[in-house]
Structure 1
Amino acid sequence: MQRIKTDLLVIGAGSGGLSVAAGAAQMGADVVLLERGEMGGDCLNYGCVPSKALIASAQRAFGMAHAAPFGIAPAVPQVDYAAAQGHVAETVARIAPMDSQERFEGFGVRVIREEGRFISPREVQAGEHVLTARRIVIATGSSPFVPPIPGLADVPYLTNETLWRLRERPRHLLVIGGGPIGLEMAQAHRRLGSEVTVIEAQRALGREDPELAAIVLQELRAEGIDIVEETQAQAVRGGAGAIEVETAAGQVFRGSHLLVAVGRRANIEALGLEAAGIAATRAGITVDEGLRSTNRRVYAIGDVAGGAQFTHVAGYHAGLVVRNALFGLPVSAKPLILPRATYTAPELAQVGLTEAEARQRHGDRLEVLRLPYQHNDRAIAQRQTTGLLKVMVVKGRPVGASIAGAQAGELIGTWALALSAGLKMSDVAGMVVPYPTIGELNKRVAGAYFSPRLFENETVKTVVRLVQRWLP
């Protein structure tokens, strides 16, 4: 058994773990990184990257079939599903070197490709190694949650980890779960030529603003996706190519393939947390505002920390931990500045409080600004006028933004900055954006906050008349 002492031990080489390891090593810390699986974690290998690559293929197919409004003869796309999955694999391969063991060893990180397990509050065993560190960061991410539906274990089913092995297009894809992952993959496969049925136990996109979720769901249904809400999957049966999902109401949905996308669970089972005195719940490791666990030498970041499960959140956590673990600076995670996006078409994005949350918290002080996409010139030119931007404002400062529409994931960045930097609506209204762009929506909705204060205010009109009378 080889014993290793280090300044910082990072368990997990996903987005958050890699960010911590690279940052700490380049600033002079002695760093050891453990990874039992693929470098790059879920995002690179099974999540963000492959899903967006398949969505890109689906967008091309959809554009070919719907070109007539632009004066282009539409064509029925000849989809080579295996080649589309080849595009996915090529995309992952092109990005993989950025997350590779060799690159991080070049930063000075010692990479050990073993599973890490606590054997004491300060020691972690990884294969033939026992590691002791001044600080430890758990960044083991999450995995697809597979619900205990009777019969599910006896049929071939897909998750976001196994979907990318398919080379034959599903004839009819059944999706259990109407959240972001389920709906993104539902639309991608529909656009690539599959029949698709989504079965959701509650409300599809239930975490999002209902008004904006409805915009997205209406578009998905218009493309031919059958979305069945408030319908619990009660039993699964069948075999390869012929799968049935029976609901609590007795409905039976039949398809050739089944994708299970009902959420994710934190990867904590193999960590031996009890030996380290680290508390955890079903959601993940219990942490304070500074991302410390109940063992003060151990941090948890990203999905495993029990909060929002997004790659950019893990990166944000990583920056906080580096500041605290290396420099002893006080840090505090701020969940309300963290944006999220669902990459359907139209996209759906959120940062800060939704309208319902803002009304509950701020009551009569809240103002809600609304701007439909149909008033944006670029959206009109691109025939992407389905959409709505809502901004929640309290005393001249935004407290949340919700967007459904084209490029919502890009637009939300402005409001994420506004919340993070404590900007006022006047700051957003005062920025200059190129014309014509979808980005003008942000400036216009901010300007709408001031319109009634300027154009419907008799005091303002009186002042203007007086100034005009005295100007030479």
Structure 2
Amino acid sequence: MERISTDLCIIGAGSAGLSIAAGVAQMGAKVVLIEGAAMGGDCLNYGCVPSKALLAAGRAAQAIRRGAPGVQGAEPQIDFAAVKAQLAAVIAQIAPVDSQERFEDFGVQVIRAYASFTGPREVEAGGKIIRARRFVIATGSHPTIPPVPGLDAIPYFTNETIFAQTERPEHLLILGGGPVAMEMAQAHRRLGCAVTVIARSRVLGRDDPDASAVVLAALRDEGVAVLEGCEIVRLRALAQGLEAVLSDGITVTGSHLLVATGRTSAIARLNLSAAGVAYTDKGVTVGPNLRSSNRRIYAVGDVAGGLQFTHVAGAHAGVVIKQVLFGLPAKQATVVPMVTYTDPELAQIGLTEAQARAAHPGVQVLRQEFLHNDRAVTEGKTTGFLKLMLLKGRPVGVTIVGAGAGELIGLWALAMSAGMKVGTVAGMIAPYPTRGEISKRAAGAYFSPKLFDNMGVKRVVRLVQRLLP
């Protein structure tokens, strides 16, 4: 069996693993990258990239339906197979950036196989033993399949298979109520499918309930049937499609089923016990610096057991690079923006209103409606709001629901990560008319009572006016 010695061995060629491999190799270290599945990981092949392309197609279809004042709407002509072909084209366009050839050009040795630890400093992959000074586990996650009676006897989609479906589902049943479920529900409805969402609890249950209610209302208005607080007692295949029997006795039938009930960290193949790496069912147990119980082994991205977002994985890459290349201390960020890409979008950073009130009794909550934003009014997209949670003049959380919320949350990510006071945002000049003005207006609302409802300020102003020539 061939033996390889290297400075760093990375297991997993998704967002985090590729970022680390590129950075470390280009700065002179020897790198082995191991990947048993597709280069680019879940985000490129089954997640962010195809899902946002599908949402874009749905958005285009909906724009035709809606029309505009003076512009007659019409039912769009949708070629579902062509939409899916475009998804494949988008993936193919991005794929060279994540390709094996590109990373080999960086000097990375790429092994296309699954890895398993054989000891604290060695893994086996593809008939090779790799011994490294440091390891990074970046194996990501895979769809969680719930123990629903009858599920194992019927065909179903997950995010790993739904994008390859070229025939339009007549009636798509979606099991789950999180961001993926809601995004896919809206996209498929807009592309001509009947859609029913079956959720065990409140949809988008981790989000601010005021904001998730706005998204839910929008989807229902478009014709998505959403059943909340429902347990599936049994699934059964029919001659055409399937039926789901719910705990309240209701039976729902559909042509296809998508399971979108969360994700599980991909650790089963790794033999972590042989490496002395502690783990739970959430993933590898790591400290703030992403180091595992084996000081030579780090875990990044979904497999590290925290927030499962591509931008988190990318940030983890920087944390690890500082440590393995330069021996510098580094910790993962604690304030991370999150976006659900429905229409309207829902974005969150820091604490929700409920979390902020529970943690900080003195928190101040300010709210601005898109109804009062001139750009939103001109485009007829006034649904939604920005909610700003402040503690002693500093933001501790921001919720935005509305058109472009994912873009707007970036300003608050900067403000919170830099420890800015709200006056910095209030004092900026925002171009007019833009949705970005809603952030400035929310920040300015913090000062309004101090300026306009303060008798002391008014007395000073009157005195100055008498003294001025």
Q: What TM-score, normalized by structure 1, do the two folds share?
A: 0.98
AA aligned to 2:433 is P
**RMSD of equivalent CA atoms:** 1.0
| Displacement after TM superposition at 1:453 (Å) | 1.1
Cα deviation digits, residues 323-360 of structure 1 (max 9, x gap): 1111111112232x111000000000100011111111
Alignment-derived partner of residue 31 in structure 1: 31
Q: Report the counterpart of residue 316 of structure 1 in structure 2.
A: 315
- Matched residue, 1:98: 97
Partners of 1:415 and 1:394 in 2: CA distance: 14
2-side partners of 1:164 and 1:218: how far apart?
26
Partner of 1:8: 8
1:260: how far off? 0.4
Give the equivalent residue in structure 2 for 1:59.
59
Q: What is the one-letter code of the residue matched to 1:356?
A: A
The amino acid of 1:33's aligned partner reads L
Distance in 2 of aligned mates of 1:24 and 1:161? 30
> What is the aligned partner in structure 2 of residue 424 from structure 1?
421
Q: Mapping of 1:412-451 within 5 angstroms?
A: 412-451=409-448
Match of residue 20 from structure 1? 20
Hey, what's the Cα distance between the residues in 2 that align with 1:456 and 1:241? 67
Q: 2:389 aligns with which of 389, 392, 402?
A: 392
Cα distance in 1 between the residues matched to 2:430 and 2:36: 46
Segment of structure 1 superposing worse, 40-49 or 25-34:
25-34
Q: Whole-Å Cα distance in 2 between the matches of residues 468 and 330 of structure 1?
A: 56
Tell me the SS of whatever aligns to 1:146: coil
> Cα distance, 1:28 vs. partner?
1.4
The structural deviation recorded for 1:240 is 7.1
- What is the CA deviation profile of residues 437-467 of structure 1, one whole-angstrom value per residue up to 9, with x for unaligned ones? 1111111111111111111111222222223
Encode CA deviations 1:55-107: one digit per residue, 9 max, x unaligned. 1111111111110x332121211111000101111111111111111111122
Alignment of 1:348 with 2:346, yes or no, is yes
The CA distance in 1 between the partners of 2:416 and 2:27, in whole Å, is: 29
Q: In the alignment, is the contact (CA less than 8 A) between 1:241 and 1:257 conserved in 2?
A: no
Contact 1:219/1:346 (CA < 8 Å) preserved in 2? yes
> Is the 8 Å Cα contact of residues 117 and 125 (structure 1) preserved in structure 2?
yes
Question: What is the distance in 2 between the residues matched to 1:109 and 1:457?
Answer: 64
Q: In structure 1, give the amino acid aligned to 2:437.
A: E
Distance in structure 2 (CA, Å) of the matches to 1:28 and 1:369: 50
* 1:160 corresponds to 2:159: yes
| Offset, 1:471 | 2.9
Q: What amino acid is aligned across from residue 353 of structure 1 in structure 2?
A: L
Alignment-derived partner of residue 376 in structure 2: 379
Which letter does structure 2 place at the counterpart of 1:453? K
Q: What amino acid maps onto 2:412 in structure 1? A: W
Query: 2:193 & 2:240 partners in 1: Cα distance?
Result: 13
Identity %: 59
Task: Quote the Cα distance in structure 2 between the aligned partners of 1:19 and 1:417.
Answer: 22
Give the deviation of 1:127 after TM superposition.
1.3
Counterparts of residues 55-454 of structure 1 (less than 5 Å)? 55-67=55-67, 69-239=68-238, 241-335=240-334, 337-363=335-361, 365-454=362-451
Contact 1:155–1:239 (Cα < 8 Å) also in 2: no
| Aligned residue type for 2:168 | R
Question: Per the alignment, in what secondary structure is the counterpart of residue 84 of structure 1?
Answer: helix
Contact 1:392–1:399 at 8 Å: present in 2 too?
Answer: yes
Q: In structure 2, how many angstroms separate the alpha carbons of the residues matched to 1:466 and 1:331?
A: 54
Partner letter of residue 402 of structure 1?
Answer: T
User: Matches of 1:52 and 1:354 in 2, distance apart?
Assistant: 25
Deviates more, 1:265-274 or 1:458-467: 458-467
| Secondary structure class of the residue paired with 2:360 | helix
Alpha-carbon distance between aligned partners in 2 of 1:97 and 1:463, rounded to the nearest angstrom:
65
Gaps of 5+ in 2: none
Cα distance in 2, alignment partners of residues 354 and 372 from structure 1: 17
User: Which amino acid is the alignment partner of residue 40 of structure 2?
Assistant: G
Find the residue that maps to 2:376 and give its secondary structure: helix
Give distance in 2, aligned partners of 1:399 and 1:192. Answer: 38
Is the 1:293–1:300 Cα contact (8 Å) retained in structure 2?
A: yes
Query: In structure 1, how many angstroms separate the alpha carbons of the residues matched to 2:240 and 2:82?
Result: 21
- Give the deviation of 1:235 after TM superposition: 1.2
| Partner secondary structure for residue 398 of structure 1 | strand
Q: CA deviation at 1:276?
A: 0.3
User: Does the Cα contact within 8 Å between 1:240 and 1:257 map onto a contact in 2?
Assistant: no
Q: Which amino acid aligns with 1:357?
A: Q
Structure 1 position 239, deviation (Å): 4.6
Q: Residues of 2 paired with 1:49 and 1:233: CA distance?
A: 31
Could you tell me which amino acid in structure 2 is paired with residue 27 of structure 1?
Answer: M
Letter in 2 for 1:384: K
CA distance in 2, matches of 1:15, 1:55: 21
2:236 is paired with a residue of what secondary structure? strand
| Matched residue type, 1:32 | V
1:14 CA displacement: 0.3
* Contact residue 156 and residue 240 of structure 1 kept, 8 A: no
- Aligned pair count reads 469
| One-letter amino acid of the counterpart of residue 398, structure 1 | P
CA offsets, 1:198-218, max 9 Å, x none?
A: 000011000000111101101
Contact 1:350 1:412 in 2 (8 A): yes
One-letter code of the match for 1:65? Answer: R
CA distances 1:201-254 after superposition (whole Å, capped 9, x unpaired): 011000000111101101111111110000011211115741111112221110
2:216 maps to a residue whose letter is L
Q: Residue 42 of structure 1 aligns with which residue?
A: 42
